[in-house]
Amino acid sequence: MAVPKQPIMTTGRSFDATRRSFIFASLLSALSACFFGEAKASPSARSAVRHVKLWGCQYQNVDLDEVAASDLDMIVVDPSLNDSAGIFVTREDCERLKKKPDGSRRIVLAYLCVGEADIKRWYWPEAWMTEAPSWVGAENPNWNGAHAVQYWHPEWQSLVYKARDSILATILDAGFDGVVLDRVDAYTDWEPGRDRARNEMIDLVVSLATTARKRNPDFVVIAQNAEPLLTSMTFVAALDGHNKESLLTGLKGPDSINTTEDVDWSLNYLRGLQNAGVATLATEYISDTSLIPAVKTRLLELGFVPFFGVRALDILPRSPVEG
């Protein structure tokens, strides 16, 4: 903390003495800032996303001590550490995670699914366990308990971000820097039967971001996949980053290399996002570690910050194999 400058008293003192007093006070203030840490303000979380080099997601088996001790620039975790035990990430936890071992700032984000409901999770009302609302659709065959939802329905939006006890409110109360929004691409589940599906997803994301930033103007919003939505400037304006899963590998099976056509389809949308100055991230799920160096090199060439994870997202993200 800087030492406050004393008022300059001119009565009974010469000009030189006054100037020396002023210079001494200014020097003392500067020295205090050097020794006690008052310096340039830290960059906002929203702007810092563009400078992340090492990041990742972990949604299961999270050890907060491990995360805090890591060199990750950004971590994405679920706001609930253990649903059955009712253990959540607290404000104290978030503050601890925000500080890296070297004292620099880490961005701490929460996972938030906006297009699908997992009826096994902490946020799902018990009354809906036996009889789900009419806006809940079919179960996802690839994820037990996850159901399609009419994400435009007021009850779903209230549960996710509009109510005072919503999932978003829980995230904000805990002090997270922001969110990674999953299943933004759920609008494709409702097309072509619902012409407004695309715009309704854009409206949801923009409204959620606006709601969060009323409480925290520095709140980070990162969308996942759903590349065609990136043609909407309204949508892009709400984002601080985008994460593309399986850009280069995995579409045809584990450790498979994606076709040039598939990669180019995504890049046609994502290049525009990069030109707009929005951070572009990439997640690849690769079990054959010998593939990682080449994939990492290619992602960096394309302007993406890579994260190499396992499908379960149950281990601490680490620095990828150097390529």
Model confidence pLDDT, tens digit, residues 30-83: 433 333 333 344 679 999 999 999 999 999 999 999 999 999 999 999 999 999
- Position 248 scores a pLDDT of 98
User: What's the pLDDT score for residue 41?
Assistant: 46
- pLDDT value, residue 42: 61
Q: pLDDT band at residue 13, thresholds of 50, 70 and 90?
A: very low
Confidence of residue 25 (pLDDT cuts 50, 70, 90): very low
Nearest-CA neighbor of 276 among 228, 231, 222, 226?
A: 231
Q: Is residue 322 part of a domain?
A: no
Query: Tens digits of per-residue pLDDT, 167-214?
Result: 999 999 999 999 999 999 999 999 989 999 999 999 999 999 999 999
- Helical axes 167-174 vs 197-215, angle rounded to 10°: 30
Residue 174 sits in the same domain as residue 260: yes
Identify the domain containing residue 32 by its residue range.
1-39
CA-to-CA distance for 210 and 204, rounded, in angstroms? 10
CA dist 134 to 57, 147, 163, 194, Å? 32, 12, 19, 16
| Counted domains in the chain | 2
Structure confidence at residue 270 as a pLDDT band (50, 70, 90): very high
Q: Which residue has the tokens 């200014």?
A: 26
Estimate to the nearest angstrom the gap between the alpha carbon of 20 and the chain centroid: 51
Amino acid identity of residue 308, one-letter, is F
Please tell me whether residues 96 and 59 are part of one structural domain: yes
- Residue 321 domain-assigned? no
State the pLDDT at residue 319.
Answer: 83
Does 278 score more than 60 pLDDT?
yes
On whether residue 320 sits in a domain, the answer given is no
pLDDT at 16: 44
Do 132 and 147 lie in one domain? The reply is: yes
For the residues 122-132, what does the mean pLDDT come to? Answer: 94
Indicate the pLDDT class of residue 149, thresholds 50, 70 and 90.
very high
Bridge partners, 77 (sequence order): 58, 110
Mean pLDDT to the nearest integer, 110-136: 96
H-helix segments, the chain: 15-36, 45-48, 64-69, 91-97, 127-130, 154-157, 167-174, 197-215, 233-237, 260-275, 292-301
**Overall average pLDDT of the 266-284 stretch:** 97
Q: What is the CATH number of the domain that holds 135?
A: 3.20.20.70
Cα separation, 131 vs 246, in Å, equals 36
Is residue 97 one of the residues assigned to a domain? yes
Mean pLDDT throughout 134-159? 96
Q: What pTM was estimated for this model as a whole?
A: 0.86
Tokens representing residue 176 in the block: 């997270």
136/7 same-domain check? no
Determine the average pLDDT of the residues in 227-256: 98
Does pLDDT of 7 surpass 90? Answer: no
Whether 318 maps to a domain, the answer reads no
Greater confidence, 24 or 211? Answer: 211
In a domain, 140, yes or no: yes
pLDDT at 206: 98
86 and 206 share a domain? yes
Q: Which residues pair with 181 in a beta bridge?
A: 112, 223
Closest by alpha carbon to 79, among 213, 159, 180, 155? 180
Residues 157, 260 within the same domain: yes
pLDDT of residue 119: 95
d(CA 85, CA 122): 10
Q: Residues 89-121: pLDDT tens digits?
A: 999 999 999 999 999 999 999 999 999 999 999
Q: Are residues 172 and 303 in the same domain?
A: yes
Confidence grade of residue 20 (pLDDT, cut at 50, 70, 90): very low
For residues 78 and 88, give the distance between their C-alpha atoms in angstroms, rounded to a whole number: 9
The two three-digit tokens of residue 166, written as one number: 């919503």
What is the 8-class DSSP label of residue 249? B
Task: Note whether 31 and 159 are same-domain residues.
Answer: no
Residue 319 within a domain: no
How far is the CA of 56 from the CAs of 5, 16, 26, 131, 305, in angstroms? 45, 59, 44, 36, 10
Residues 16, 58 within the same domain: no
Which one-letter DSSP state was computed for residue 100?
Answer: -
For residue 320, what pLDDT band results from cuts at 50, 70 and 90?
confident
Same domain? For 213 and 254 the reply is yes
Could you tell me if 186 and 113 lie in one domain?
yes
The pLDDT value recorded for residue 238 is 98
The pLDDT of residue 3 is: 29
Mean predicted lDDT score pLDDT of the chain: 89
Same domain membership, residue 100 and residue 53: yes
Looking at the DSSP assignment, which residues form a beta bridge with residue 58?
A: 77
Give the separation between CA 78 and CA 20, rounded to whole angstroms: 57
